[in-house]
């Protein structure tokens, strides 16, 4: 009985729910991960090729609409990163996919099945690292893992799981004595015990030191290589850059940008930047063909950025740079710390957070 409570608590949201939680029950069926995704039928009897499918999802808390008509898919062996500003609706989306909330409108499917209430055919195949883990503070690490193992049909060995997350030397330590980052690693360990085919990771590396974070990235990429579908939310953009096959950026409940990282960054243009020379006024800077100019303050210094977007970005950035260098040469102006670079995910994110971006790179 205790183990059921632990598993339920570990996957539950503590407050403010808008629907009753379905209690988790012990897992009973053995799942062969190598074949399950090809052979498990959907509710309609067809063989779904998508692990996760979200269509026109809307989710409201009372009169407040937290998720406003989003759609995306995740295939087996793919990691999809859901990024976004605070309160954008990422956790709400994951909780809906986990089966904790019924959509206000639209549909969500996991292997073709409606996840609401965590139906038995999905319990075997899905696990999560949620933002609020709900570990029992008085239990040891080993006892906690064992309780999760009791619920799994084909659990990983306790020693293997502990080694995977580098908690072997903490096996006999009580949860209350773990650091925040160690607790997060234990959360991940618990999600790995049951060998899930779909893994929801809601800010899984928050509180981890850089080494633990890198180790977690390796674990997650190995899982994806083995065919696991992962839906990740994170505020660490580097994490998304390292792990994501595709990503979406949410803002105010909507997906504003979606696509493969390379496509998104290419669509966001190239940047030519330099420190504003002392004897040049911002209004005296040249207009460069096909480039938008912006002057602001970076690290306390005036900084000029020309952004080139649209068709043939590379060619136009090249021509803009040539024009700029000719202008500087004619005036004997030195362009300090001159740089030409592609857009970063941070550029895209900040544009989205600042509003005013057009949807781009949508599949
Ligand atoms: N139980 C709830 N009752 C009412 N409003 C809620 C509830 N849960 C979330 N919200 C609101 O819904 C919006 C989306 O919240 P959500 O937690 O999904 O965002 P998020 O993208 O995960 O944010 P963060 O990055 O800060 O974790 C927020 O405005 C939040 O205040």
Residue 115 region, left (φ>0) first, then alpha (ψ -120 to 50), else beta? alpha
Does position 48 have pLDDT exceeding 70, yes or no?
no
- Tens of pLDDT, residue by residue over 89-109, are 999 999 999 999 999 999 999
Q: Is 63 in the pocket of ligand 1 (CB under 6 A)?
A: no
Rounded Cα distance, 305 and 9, in Å? 50
Rounded Cα distance, 47 and 64, in Å? 36
Percentage of residues in the chain having pLDDT higher than 70: 84
Q: Which of the given ranges, 23-32, 115-124, 129-138, has the highest pLDDT on average? A: 115-124
Pocket perturbation via mutation, ligand 1, pick of 18, 91, 240, 250 by most ligand atoms within 8 A of CB: 91
Q: What is the reported pLDDT for 180?
A: 87
Residue owning tokens 């966001």: 268
Q: Which atom of ligand 1 is nearest to the CA of 94?
A: 18
Q: What DSSP assignment string belongs to 194-214? A: T--SEEEEESTTTT--HHHHH
Q: How far is CA 191 from CA 151, 156, 176, 282, in A?
A: 12, 11, 19, 54
Q: What is the reported pLDDT for 18?
A: 39
Phi and psi at 173, nearest 5°, equal -90, 140
- Tens of pLDDT, residue by residue over 6-16, are 333 334 333 33
Buried (b) or exposed (e) across 109-118, using 16+ Cβ within 10 A? bbbbbbbbeb
Query: Which has the closest alpha carbon to 313: 275, 361, 271, 250?
Result: 271
Structure tokens at 127: 């696990």
- Tens of pLDDT, residue by residue over 183-216, are 999 999 999 999 999 999 999 998 888 988 998 9
**Distance from the Cα of residue 73 to its chain's centroid:** 13
Rg (CA), the chain: 24
Q: Where are the domains of the chain?
A: 2-264, 269-342
Residue 349 Cα to ligand 1 midpoint, Å, equals 19
Rounded Cα distance, 174 and 184, in Å? 14
Does position 358 have pLDDT exceeding 70, yes or no?
no
Residue owning tokens 């953009």: 237
Residues 6+ apart with CB under 8 A from 60: 18, 66, 104
Residue 92 Cα to ligand 1 midpoint, Å, equals 6
Q: Is 91 in the pocket of ligand 1 (CB under 6 A)?
A: yes
Residue 30 CB burial class (10 angstroms; 0-12, 13-18, ≥19): exposed
Rounded Cα distance, 233 and 240, in Å? 8
Query: In the predicted model, what is the mean pLDDT of the chain?
Result: 84
Mean pLDDT of 273-285: 95
Pocket perturbation via mutation, ligand 1, pick of 20, 61, 67, 353 by most ligand atoms within 8 A of CB: 61
Phi and psi at 19, nearest 5°, equal -160, 160
User: What is the pTM assigned to this prediction?
Assistant: 0.79
Q: Which atom of ligand 1 is nearest to the CA of 85?
A: 25
Largest CA distance in the chain: 81
Pocket perturbation via mutation, ligand 1, pick of 65, 66, 104, 349 by most ligand atoms within 8 A of CB: 66
Query: Would you say domain 2-264 falls under CATH 3.40.50.300?
Result: yes
Pocket perturbation via mutation, ligand 1, pick of 13, 89, 249 by most ligand atoms within 8 A of CB: 89
Q: For ligand 1, atom 4, name the residue with the nearest CA.
A: 61
Rounded Cα distance, 39 and 227, in Å? 14
Domains 2-264 and 269-342 equal at CATH topology level: no
Question: Long-range pairs for 86-91 at CB < 8 Å and ≥24 separation?
Answer: 88/250, 88/251, 88/252, 88/253, 89/59, 89/250, 89/252, 89/253, 90/202, 90/233, 90/250, 91/131, 91/202, 91/233
Structure tokens at 120: 């038995």
Does position 340 have pLDDT exceeding 80, yes or no?
yes
What CATH architecture applies to the domain 269-342?
2-Layer Sandwich (3.30)
| Residue 129 · residue 187 · CB < 8 Å | yes
Residue 16 Cα to ligand 1 midpoint, Å, equals 10
Residue owning tokens 């096909």: 290
Residue 90 Cα to ligand 1 midpoint, Å, equals 8
Residue owning tokens 């193992």: 149
Query: Which has the closest alpha carbon to 19: 102, 113, 120?
Result: 102
Q: Is 61 in the pocket of ligand 1 (CB under 6 A)?
A: yes
Which residues partner with 81 through β-bridges?
A: 232, 247
- Tens of pLDDT, residue by residue over 286-313, are 999 889 999 999 889 999 999 998 888 8
């Amino acid at each position: 009985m205790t183990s059921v409570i632990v598993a339920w608590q570990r996957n539950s949201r503590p407050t403010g729910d808008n629907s009753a939680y379905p209690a988790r029950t012990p897992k009973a069926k053995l799942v062969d991960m190598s074949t399950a995704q090809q052979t498990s039928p959907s509710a309609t009897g067809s063989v779904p090729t998508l692990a996760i499918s979200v269509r026109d999802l809307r989710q409201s808390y009372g009169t407040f609409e937290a998720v406003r008509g989003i759609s995306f898919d995740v295939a087996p062996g793919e990691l999809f990163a859901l990024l976004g500003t605070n309160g954008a609706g990422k956790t709400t989306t994951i909780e809906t996919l986990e089966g904790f909330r019924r959509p206000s409108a639209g549909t969500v499917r996991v292997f073709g099945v409606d996840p609401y209430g965590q139906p038995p055919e999905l319990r075997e195949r899905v696990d999560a690292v949620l933002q609020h883990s709900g570990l029992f503070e008085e239990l040891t690490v080993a006892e906690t893992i064992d309780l999760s193992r009791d619920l799994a049909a084909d659990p990983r060995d306790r020693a293997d799981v502990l080694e995977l997350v580098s908690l072997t030397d903490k096996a006999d330590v009580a949860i209350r004595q773990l650091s925040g980052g160690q607790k997060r690693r234990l959360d991940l360990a618990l999600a790995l015990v049951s060998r899930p085919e779909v893994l929801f990771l809601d800010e899984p590396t928050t509180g981890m030191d850089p080494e633990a974070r890198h180790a977690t990235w390796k674990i997650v990429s190995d899982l994806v290589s083995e065919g696991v579908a992962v839906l990740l939310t994170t505020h660490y953009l580097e994490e998304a850059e390292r792990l994501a096959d595709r990503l979406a950026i949410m803002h105010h409940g909507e997906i504003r940008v979606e696509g493969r990282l390379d496509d998104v960054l290419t669509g966001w243009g190239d940047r030519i930047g330099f420190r504003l020379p002392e004897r040049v006024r911002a209004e005296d800077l040249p207009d460069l063909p096909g480039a938008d100019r912006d002057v602001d303050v970076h690290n306390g210094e005036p900084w000029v950025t020309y952004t080139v977007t649209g068709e043939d970005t590379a060619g136009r950035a090249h021509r803009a740079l040539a024009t700029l260098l000719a202008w500087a040469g004619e005036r004997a102006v030195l362009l300090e710390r001159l740089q030409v670079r592609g857009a970063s995910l941070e550029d895209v994110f900040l544009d989205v957070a600042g509003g005013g971006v057009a949807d781009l790179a949508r599949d």
